A and B are shown apart, each in its own frame.
Chain A
Amino acid sequence: MKFKIENIIKGALASFIGASMAFTANIAFADYPDKDITFIVPYSPGGGSDQMARRLQPGLEKALGVNVKIVYKTGGGGAVGFSELHRSKPDGYTISNVVVPNVIITSKGDGIGYKPKDFSYIGMTEAAVGALMVPNDSPYQTLDQFVAAAKEKPGMLTVAGVGSTGANRWGGLAEILGIETTYVPVSGGVGKMMPMLAGSHVDGGMTASNHATKHKAIVKALVVAGNNEVATLPGVPTEPAWTYVTTWGIMAPPGTPADIVAKLNSALREAATDASVRDALVKGGYNPIIQTVDEVNAFMDAQIAIYE
């Protein structure tokens, strides 16, 4: 896992630099933080973003020395929470989850009021590549069988994904595989997709691979995106030409002062390096990430360039 090792080394180096930066920030903003921090979760309680926030909450509280309150501002595929953060005061007392590419794709709507470039990014904490999965008792137990069936009856196989992000990403894989299928959009997240797969109401489902790890009892992954095998899905073939990665992290309102961003970043890195957090991520089939402020900004620029 290239992602991981690189980032651990970078993280170790960066945390040293970050710590010294935080020290200077401490002098400049000696009083930050001196009150509770509000953490906006733009997706429903119990979902992936909520769990991420709850996983990091104790570590962030310890590192910052104040309480972190979680509030839910849900709706519009995350747009409601993202735009709420966009309107919030950039004083470091309001932060939120960020999910890439969701924040980029939702920003394209009319009158949405935020652009992904606006936000002050604190850092990404985990990522998962895309996967195509089928019900465990599917007649197609390998990618070859699935592709052969799709070629035999073009447009007759159905594949579910989450909303337009899913349509876009699945279109990419279908093109690489040279097949034609019928896409079935699921709204409200992967939780709604799993029963459809369990009851074989669709032939396949496409989403981030961590869900294939979590729902091993229901689904079998046929292929994952990228060059590297996913550790929790051994033996599942990879598709290097398919570049679908979902990344989760934390961001602050536009124009948050650099020293506050640095302080939040070092707190986030401290929380994310905690052994229990890392264990949960690795076990869940995620790639843990630790980033400096420069790294997350470079990452976001690259991601925005891909989707614009």
Chain B
Amino acid sequence: MIDAFFLAISPSYLMFMTIGVLLGLVVGTLPGLTATMGTALLVPFTFALPTGEGIAMLGGLYVCAMFSDAIPACLVNTPGTPAAMATGFDGHPMVQQGRGQEAIVAACFSSALGTMFGAACYLLLAWPMISIALQFGPPEFFWLGIFALTIIGSLAGDSILKGLAGGAIGLLISCVGISHAAELNRFTLNIPELRGGVSLVAALIGVFAVPQVLSMILGLRKQEYVAEYKSEKGVVLKTIVKVLSRPIHFLRSASIGSFIGILPGAGSPIAAIVSYNEAVRWSKKKEEFGKGNIHGVTASEIANNSAAPAAMIPLVTLGVPGSSPAAVIAGALMLRGLNPGPELFATDGTLVYSFGWSLFIAGIVVFFIGMLATPILVRIIKIPLRLLAPLIMFLAIIGAYAIRNNIFDVYLMLTIGIFVFLVRRIGFHPGPIGLGFILGPIIEPSLVQALYISDALGVGKIFFSGTINITLISLSVISVSAVAISRIRARKLPKVKD
């Protein structure tokens, strides 16, 4: 492992990893260019490099994209990748309050810490963690998805009913396309493109970017900028101290992130959602979340970044990637004739460990590059709305097209965007709708598989037994009842305002 460390800090490893980080900054910042897309586009260029440097570069891109997707999420309320959806819940209100720099610095610093935590898990705890992760079968994934859905309680805003309806709309739209079990056409209206389902990335751009642009245009006469921008001295240091002053919050978010990152198929978006939900649950100032609480931003960013290196753990221990970018890295290794998995751990341990160290160091590099870029990026909000609105629209359209090179996704993105814009005006929060999109592809297949298995073994044994199932069910029940109780209490209290 020491050899691997010295390899990872050798100039060529550092150089290519840093190039990866710089590319990741671009990829994550542009909505529609996801980490998966970015790594896939970079793979052919890594063939010119030795294997170690090649995957270090891909890893650098991956972890940096998990930070930079927070930039558009905060500044213009459009997550750069699905993993940053929860970052925007508090990040954008912070920007609107003129705390843009603080939000980005918080995202950057917590991303860096999260990456290092995840990489440390990869280096030290790969085997014990994977043995727990393997306990997750279809019923456990189903309950995890249900548990993640309970975040609607803290997102819903004024009406819990509208929150639930929003989540249901998201889940229903995620059902469009060929079904998971019997391959039935559902809600496809005989349009061939819909058979593949609604693209998650295009849908999320629609949910967040389009309503944002439309509101900007409607508010043009009242407002000329997204928010005020004032450069404050010492804000970097102050923010870092704020993040560091909550060690338990950090450990909780990072552990949730790394653990969910390991689960094959769950990945960074789910990690960020669950971590955000827990941050709200354990906070004494629950009502501040969603209104610009810095710990909402850090909870999401710590978790989605620690999930990225952790997604490599199932790859090196089982040969199964934990996320789509990890799948691309697996493909890059296989094209070189290496078989990622326990075999590679045994035959080429140095490569496996040097990759872990590269990811760890990438965390540090992300921080410094992020700090250099922040003052420039934050100035995006100084662009007047009449220029910014068309610019976001332009990027949204390119992003929706780029993800599958399909113009149909652009139409879909616009349709969903106009729909969300309209329902937002009657009090729906876009968060639950986006949540439904992200969780549908986890909940539905696992429910179907668990039902098939329960055909053989019985519903009670599959769904309602086992430590993990019981824990997740109890947590979900606690979440829901906590929300219900606080709402009933709030109703009994006399109204203070007006």
> Is there an interface contact between A76 and B134, defined as CB atoms closer than 8 Å?
no
CA–CA, A188 to B318, complex, Å?
Answer: 18
When C-beta atoms are compared, the residue in chain A nearest to B184 turns out to be A109
- Is A257 interfacial (CB-CB < 8 Å)? no
> Is there an interface contact between A72 and B40, defined as CB atoms closer than 8 Å?
yes
- Is B265 interfacial (CB-CB < 8 Å)? yes
When C-beta atoms are compared, the residue in chain B nearest to A42 turns out to be B196
- Is B339 interfacial (CB-CB < 8 Å)? yes
CA–CA, A236 to B346, complex, Å?
Answer: 25
Chain A residues contacting B449 (CB-CB under 8 Å) are: 160, 184-186, 196
User: Given A46-B330, A51-B334, A202-B453, A191–B320 Cβ distance below 8 Å?
Assistant: yes
Chain A residues contacting B197 (CB-CB under 8 Å) are: 75-76
Closest Cβ of chain B: how far from A34's Cβ, in Å?
A: 22
Q: A159-194 interface mask toward B, CB cutoff 8 Å, 1 = contact, 0 = none?
A: 010011000000000000000011111111001101
Closest Cβ of chain A: how far from B409's Cβ, in Å?
A: 10
User: Given A44-B327, A280-B337, A109–B195 Cβ distance below 8 Å?
Assistant: yes
Size bracket of the B interface:
35 or more
Where chain B touches its partner, the secondary structure class is helix
When C-beta atoms are compared, the residue in chain A nearest to B320 turns out to be A194
> Is there an interface contact between B453 and A75, defined as CB atoms closer than 8 Å?
no
> Is there an interface contact between A73 and B183, defined as CB atoms closer than 8 Å?
no
> Is there an interface contact between B456 and A155, defined as CB atoms closer than 8 Å?
yes
- Is B29 interfacial (CB-CB < 8 Å)? no
> Is there an interface contact between B195 and A80, defined as CB atoms closer than 8 Å?
yes
- Is A235 interfacial (CB-CB < 8 Å)? no
Closest Cβ of chain A: how far from B355's Cβ, in Å?
A: 16
Residue among B183, B321, B404 making CB contact with A163, cutoff 8 Å: B183
> Is there an interface contact between B405 and A71, defined as CB atoms closer than 8 Å?
yes
Chain A residues contacting B330 (CB-CB under 8 Å) are: 46
- Is B50 interfacial (CB-CB < 8 Å)? no
- Is B192 interfacial (CB-CB < 8 Å)? yes
When C-beta atoms are compared, the residue in chain A nearest to B341 turns out to be A217
User: Given A46-B328, A111-B185, A194-B318, A185–B134 Cβ distance below 8 Å?
Assistant: no
> Is there an interface contact between A214 and B195, defined as CB atoms closer than 8 Å?
no
Closest Cβ of chain A: how far from B93's Cβ, in Å?
A: 35
User: Given A157-B456, A158-B453, A195-B264, A75–B183 Cβ distance below 8 Å?
Assistant: no
CA–CA, A189 to B258, complex, Å?
Answer: 24
> Is there an interface contact between B137 and A182, defined as CB atoms closer than 8 Å?
no
Closest Cβ of chain A: how far from B441's Cβ, in Å?
A: 8
> Is there an interface contact between B40 and A46, defined as CB atoms closer than 8 Å?
yes
CA–CA, A57 to B44, complex, Å?
Answer: 10
User: Given A77-B183, A111-B185, A195-B264, A201–B196 Cβ distance below 8 Å?
Assistant: no
> Is there an interface contact between B324 and A46, defined as CB atoms closer than 8 Å?
yes
CA–CA, A73 to B188, complex, Å?
Answer: 18
**Looking at the complex, which of B174-182, B232-240, B245-253, B378-386 is the stretch in contact with chain A?**
B174-182
- Is A283 interfacial (CB-CB < 8 Å)? yes
- Is A12 interfacial (CB-CB < 8 Å)? no
Q: Which of A44-99 contact B (CB under 8 A)?
A: 44-47, 50-51, 54-55, 57, 70-77, 79-80, 83-84
> Is there an interface contact between A217 and B342, defined as CB atoms closer than 8 Å?
yes
- Is A139 interfacial (CB-CB < 8 Å)? no
User: Given A76-B197, A192-B265, A185–B180 Cβ distance below 8 Å?
Assistant: yes
> Is there an interface contact between A111 and B135, defined as CB atoms closer than 8 Å?
no
When C-beta atoms are compared, the residue in chain A nearest to B188 turns out to be A111
CA–CA, A184 to B449, complex, Å?
Answer: 6
CA–CA, A198 to B137, complex, Å?
Answer: 10
Max count, chain A CB within 10 A of own CB: residue among B39, B192, B319: B192
Residue among A51, A57, A77, A186 making CB contact with B331, cutoff 8 Å: A51
When C-beta atoms are compared, the residue in chain A nearest to B330 turns out to be A46
Chain A residues contacting B177 (CB-CB under 8 Å) are: 75-76
User: Given A46-B324, A198-B320, A80–B185 Cβ distance below 8 Å?
Assistant: no
- Is A301 interfacial (CB-CB < 8 Å)? no
> Is there an interface contact between B341 and A199, defined as CB atoms closer than 8 Å?
no
Q: B154-179 interface mask toward A, CB cutoff 8 Å, 1 = contact, 0 = none?
A: 00000000000000000000000110
Chain A residues contacting B137 (CB-CB under 8 Å) are: 196, 199, 201
Residue among A80, A182, A183, A215 making CB contact with B319, cutoff 8 Å: A215
- Is A308 interfacial (CB-CB < 8 Å)? no
Chain A residues contacting B324 (CB-CB under 8 Å) are: 44-46
CA–CA, A164 to B135, complex, Å?
Answer: 26
Q: A83-121 interface mask toward B, CB cutoff 8 Å, 1 = contact, 0 = none?
A: 110000000000000000000000001111100000000
Query: 13 interchain pairs (CB within 8 A)?
Result: A46-B329, A54-B44, A73-B406, A74-B404, A76-B197, A113-B192, A164-B182, A185-B448, A187-B180, A198-B320, A199-B136, A199-B137, A215-B320
